[in-house]
């Protein structure tokens, strides 16, 4: 999925720009705005994605790039897909409260690991820019935060 302007797909409980369910994908060079999740993935085994060189504008809702975990599916696991790679993206939105994380949300453990690196988050506080369940196999590094683009990882 590449070179698209995906916008105005917000709806409570749904509203996904790109959705992966037991699929793998490369999502690159897109612009997202007014999406609940710009990218959402079920987190089922067999689900994985790489998102790079995308821009998420200010008007997102909930986490922009998301990988669901077993708790969301109520399947008794903590599996959040096979792998996830998120790099070289721009997330312009800022934290607006507990139910809104402007960047990335990984709600479980990817079985083969993950990486979040070389992104710019408009939010200056990394704990408000993304969340991931406690998870040693997801590496977070070389990201920039806030208008000053400070590296805090």
Q: Provide the 10 A C-beta neighbour count for residue 113.
A: 15
Q: Is the pLDDT of residue 102 over 80?
A: no
- Tens of pLDDT, residue by residue over 36-77, are 889 999 999 999 999 999 999 988 777 899 999 998 899 999
Q: Residue with structure tokens 């990988």?
A: 67
Q: How far is Cα 36 from Cα 147, in angstroms, rounded to an integer?
A: 24
Report domain extents, the chain. 5-151
Percent of the residues in the chain that have a pLDDT greater than 90, as a whole number: 64
Q: Is the pLDDT of residue 117 over 80?
A: yes
Q: How far is Cα 45 from Cα 21, in angstroms, rounded to an integer?
A: 9
**Number of separate helices (H) and strands (E) present in the chain:** 2, 17
pLDDT of residue 21: 94
Kindly give the pairing relationship between strand 37-41 and strand 130-132: unpaired
pLDDT of residue 17: 93
Percent of the residues in the chain that have a pLDDT greater than 70, as a whole number: 95
């Amino acid at each position: 999925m590449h070179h698209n302007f995906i916008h105005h797909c917000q709806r409570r409980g749904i509203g996904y720009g790109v959705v992966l369910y037991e699929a793998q994908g490369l999502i690159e060079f897109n612009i997202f705005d007014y999406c609940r999740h710009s990218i959402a993935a079920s987190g089922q085994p067999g689900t994985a994605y790489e998102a790079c060189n995308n821009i998420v504008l200010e008007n997102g809702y909930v986490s922009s790039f998301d990988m669901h975990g077993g708790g969301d599916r109520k399947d008794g696991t903590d599996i959040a897909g096979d792998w996830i790679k998120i790099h070289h993206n721009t997330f312009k939105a800022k934290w607006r409260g507990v139910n809104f994380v402007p960047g990335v949300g990984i709600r479980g453990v990817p079985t083969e690991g993950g990486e979040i690196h070389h992104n710019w988050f408009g939010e200056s506080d990394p704990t408000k820019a993304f969340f991931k369940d406690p998870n040693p196999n997801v590496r977070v590094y070389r990201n920039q935060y806030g208008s000053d683009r400070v590296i805090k990882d």
